[in-house]
Amino acid sequence: MKMSDLVAQYIIRMLDESHGNCEIRRNELANALGCVPSQINYVITSRFTPEQGYIVESRRGGGGYVRIIRVETDKRVAMMHIVNSVGDSVSAAAAGAILGNLVEREMISEYDYAMIAAALSDKAYACIPQENRDQLRAAILKNMLITHVMLR
């Protein structure tokens, strides 16, 4: 398992144990997990974003900390926020990360994940010019997520 996965799992466990609100001291966590503080920063900035349902507050300095708050929102509102955050283009990797987060937050099923991922894969766009794939992928992802919201 990658170090970033271990850090993310550790933070999620902290959030679960503290009812969705935890404070992390980067250096202490890095020492406990045997990594460097920059890895902690990377995980926080890439996996604990507003689009993924988290608020992150940071204070630098000697007693610095990072506070992470899990925001519990209506799933429809959260899904529409994700749709709006996609933008005009999305890579296959970014689409996969979005879908993975949706499964993790139980906003879509494993089956939905597999079907949407298949429709967004580079293999599905083999006949589309490379420079147009990410725009097409974003449009299809948005439409599929909006349809998912409307059907639920």
**Which CATH code for domain 3-70?**
3.30.56.130
DSSP state at residue 88 = S
Grade residue 63 by pLDDT with cuts at 50, 70 and 90: low
- Per-residue pLDDT, averaged over 15-36, amounts to 90
Structure-token match 């937050």, residue found: 105
In angstroms, rounded to a whole number, what is the distance separating the alpha carbons of residues 22 and 69?
Answer: 7
Q: What is the pLDDT of residue 151?
A: 82
Percentage of residues in the chain having pLDDT higher than 90: 44
**pLDDT, tens digit (0-9, with 9 covering 90-100), for 77-118:** 878 888 888 889 999 988 998 898 888 888 899 999 999 999
Do the Cβ atoms of 48 and 68 come closer than 8 Å?
yes
- Boundaries of every domain in the chain: 3-70, 75-151
In angstroms, rounded to a whole number, what is the distance separating the alpha carbons of residues 19 and 115?
Answer: 33
DSSP state at residue 63 = T
Higher pLDDT, 18 or 76: 18
Longest CA–CA span in the chain (Å) reads: 55
- Per-residue pLDDT, averaged over 15-22, amounts to 91
Residue 66 φ/ψ, nearest 5 degrees: -125, 125
